[in-house]
Chain A
Amino acid sequence: MYQFFTHRFLQGVVTILIVSVVVFVFVHASGDPAALMVPVEDATPQAIQEMRERLGTDRPLYVQYFSFMGGFWRGDTIKSFRYEEPITDVVGRAIIRTMILAGGAMVIGIVLAVPLGTLAALTRGSILDVIVRIIAVFGQSMPSFWVAMLLMLYISVKLQWLPVSGIGVKHAILPIATLSFFQTALLLRLMRSEMLEVIHTDYVRTARSKGLREFVVVYRHALRNAAIPIVTMAGLQLSGLIQGAVVVEPIFAWPGLGFVLVNAIFLKDYPVVVGGALLAAVLVTVINLLVDLFYGYLDPRIRVS
């Protein structure tokens, strides 16, 4: 187990490092920020050079990379080009807000998907099953920005049940609903098919033949095995949720990571882009690590392999 953990941990570190290099190189390939920051009238080569020195973009790329990573590690020395604040403040605040959305959507997804998916699988072919499958298909195929617009139009504007946009408890409901729509559909479908697979396995059949009650069979034997892929998928879906947030947050003016990053990309505010992407990657990796551990707990075979 120890070994398994160390191994996964090292893998995570490598992942984060590679992500940081990729993002850094990508972002720097997309143009010179100094040229944008210098007042247009003074955009002489000297002025741009001075600006580069001020921003530190005149140094070799690898030096910039290490200084950036050093600053990132220390937490406050790298500044946003635009916000006049350390990026960790800008991005850190944003990422907490995005996690509220992503976490909310994840919880709703799991809470709805596990029981509904199980029921659908157990009653395969019934009306419930059909409904569940329809929900799953719809949820996965409707673009999240479309859902967001429809929800805002009907819930907030027509019915006026919830506020349109901004930060707050009530304000979070619609963005979470939008994200969880997709999330629920995905997990629902996975849960159903996993459950279908598990209830036809030999050990479940054995458990049934022992005369155990159906509830016990499902709860003790089937659910636990069917949950393994759900847990993995829920962890993997985190990056999917952040992806959804990128589109949904600007619509609801929810200043999370998506809102800040899309803004920063359009403004070419590189430290925020790299810092945000990196923090997102760290977060996703850490959570996947936790998921792996949980996975190891659920499925003893993983630990030895």
Chain B
Amino acid sequence: MAVAERESLTEPSPKGWLKVPRIRSSGDVAFLVSAGLLLVFCFFAIWPQALSTYDPTINNLGLRHKPPGVADNKGGPVHFLGTDHMGRDEWSRLVWGARASMTVGGLGLLLGAIVGVSVGLVAGFRGGWADRIAMRIVDIFLSFPYILIAIVWASLIGTDMKSLILIVGVRGWVEFARITRGQALSIREREYVTAARALGAHDVRIVFRHILPNTVAPILVVAGYELGRLILLEATLSFLTIGIRPPTPAWGSMLSDARNYMNQAWWTVLFPGMFISLIVMAGNFLGDSLRDKLDPTLRGRA
């Protein structure tokens, strides 16, 4: 999902309906850096074997909590980010941990986007009861601390990858629905939509030809922010020990495991926290710079 987004951004589609500007100046550093970071994390997630030096799940109790740069006691490569409470290589776990975060965060985002955009389009375009019901549900989601539902749910359906994606995705659709509905509401009153309708265009055609393309930009902005938010949710659940189970590495559960040893092994606390921050930051920056680029009112004067 995230990859697709970015590629389509840097190279606007030949059709030209996606109104994305080319990268023009050094002012786009933030965008480039965050997109690059996300790409790196995607690479981690897709092909962790390429960069990890150890199997992230194999214990080595003789090498517990060794600081960064320690030599292996069994002749393996240097543990350059140290080892964790089970003697596992911290760097390899971080690399593999990207898979959990990116899968749960990314697929949750995709799920949320599909559901949210559909709901938003229907609500915004149809209006009436569908709109009211949809917006009421959105209100509820916004007014209710979702983490409580997530905790109950996670302890109910168990916490394998699929359940986590579902739990995270259910939180993700709200923002998409809101933004899409807003766009659809304003676009459906535009002249060209009225014109299309007058020419006898079918509703489905109007939605897909006119409304959806015009909502892509704000959806992408929301996606940037949501990615960070959903990854944080996953990390929080893992931290509460109801996320991804050991020994599968996930940044949240790595932090949760390490919290007791903060004074003994700072590297086990610093790095996973940093990685979570980095990926959330990348998502936010992406949202920010997309917003700056895509928001017509801001673009004119910059």
Using CB atoms and an 8 Å cutoff, list the residues of chain A in contact with chain B.
Answer: 11, 14-15, 18-19, 22-23, 26-27, 29-31, 137-138, 140-143, 145-146, 149, 153, 157, 189, 193, 196-197, 200, 236, 239-240, 242-243, 246-247, 261-262, 265-266, 273, 276-277, 280-281, 284-285, 288
Q: Are B155 and A141 in contact (CB under 8 A)?
A: no
B contact residues around A19 at 8 Å (CB) = 140, 143-144
| Neighbour of B147 across the interface among A189, A236, A246, CB < 8 A | A246
Residue among A19, A142, A146, A285 with max Cβ neighbours from chain B (10 Å): A146
Minimum distance in angstroms from A96 CB to a CB of chain B: 16
Q: Are B239 and A239 in contact (CB under 8 A)?
A: no
Q: Are B136 and A246 in contact (CB under 8 A)?
A: no
Residue of A nearest to B251 (CB): A143
Q: Are B144 and A145 in contact (CB under 8 A)?
A: no
Q: Are A143 and B236 in contact (CB under 8 A)?
A: yes
Q: Are A197 and B140 in contact (CB under 8 A)?
A: no
- Is B148 part of the binding interface, using a Cβ–Cβ cutoff of 8 Å? yes
A contact residues around B298 at 8 Å (CB) = 196-197
A contact residues around B139 at 8 Å (CB) = 11, 15
Give 18 A-B pairs besides A153-B262, A277-B145 with Cβ atoms closer than 8 angstroms. A14-B136, A19-B144, A26-B152, A26-B153, A30-B156, A137-B281, A141-B276, A143-B232, A143-B236, A145-B255, A146-B277, A149-B259, A239-B142, A239-B144, A242-B145, A277-B144, A280-B144, A280-B145
Residue of B nearest to A250 (CB): B240
Q: How far is the CA of A189 from the CA of B281 in the complex (A)?
A: 13
Q: How far is the CA of A284 from the CA of B280 in the complex (A)?
A: 26
| Neighbour of A27 across the interface among B152, B259, B262, B285, CB < 8 A | B152
Prevailing SS type, chain B contact patch: helix
A contact residues around B236 at 8 Å (CB) = 143, 145, 247
Q: Are A140 and B228 CB-contacts (below 8 A) given A18-B140, A30-B156, A284-B143? A: yes
Indicate with 1 or 0, residue by residue over B134-169, a CB within 8 angstroms of chain A CB atoms: 001101101111111101110110000000000000
Q: Are A142 and B277 in contact (CB under 8 A)?
A: yes
A contact residues around B250 at 8 Å (CB) = none
- Is B301 part of the binding interface, using a Cβ–Cβ cutoff of 8 Å? yes
Q: Which 6 A-B pairs have the closest CB atoms?
A: A141-B280, A30-B156, A141-B281, A146-B273, A242-B145, A284-B143
Q: How far is the CA of A249 from the CA of B235 in the complex (A)?
A: 17
Minimum distance in angstroms from B147 CB to a CB of chain A: 5
Minimum distance in angstroms from A97 CB to a CB of chain B: 15
Could you give 17 example pairs across A and B, Cβ below 8 Å?
A15-B143, A26-B149, A31-B156, A138-B277, A140-B281, A143-B232, A143-B235, A145-B259, A146-B277, A149-B262, A149-B269, A200-B297, A200-B301, A246-B145, A246-B148, A284-B145, A285-B143
Q: Are A197 and B297 CB-contacts (below 8 A) given A137-B281, A153-B262? A: yes
Residue among B142, B152, B284, B285 with max Cβ neighbours from chain A (10 Å): B152
Q: How far is the CA of A197 from the CA of B153 in the complex (A)?
A: 41
Minimum distance in angstroms from A69 CB to a CB of chain B: 17
Q: Are A262 and B151 CB-contacts (below 8 A) given A141-B281, A236-B142, A243-B145? A: yes
Q: How far is the CA of A19 from the CA of B262 in the complex (A)?
A: 39
Q: Are A15 and B136 in contact (CB under 8 A)?
A: yes
Q: How far is the CA of A277 from the CA of B140 in the complex (A)?
A: 12
B contact residues around A30 at 8 Å (CB) = 152-153, 155-156
B contact residues around A149 at 8 Å (CB) = 259, 262, 269
Q: How far is the CA of A202 from the CA of B114 in the complex (A)?
A: 38
| Neighbour of A265 across the interface among B155, B235, B277, B301, CB < 8 A | B155
Q: Are A29 and B156 CB-contacts (below 8 A) given A142-B273, A146-B273? A: yes
Q: How far is the CA of A284 from the CA of B145 in the complex (A)?
A: 9
Q: How far is the CA of A75 from the CA of B90 in the complex (A)?
A: 51
Residue of A nearest to B285 (CB): A137
- Is B25 part of the binding interface, using a Cβ–Cβ cutoff of 8 Å? no
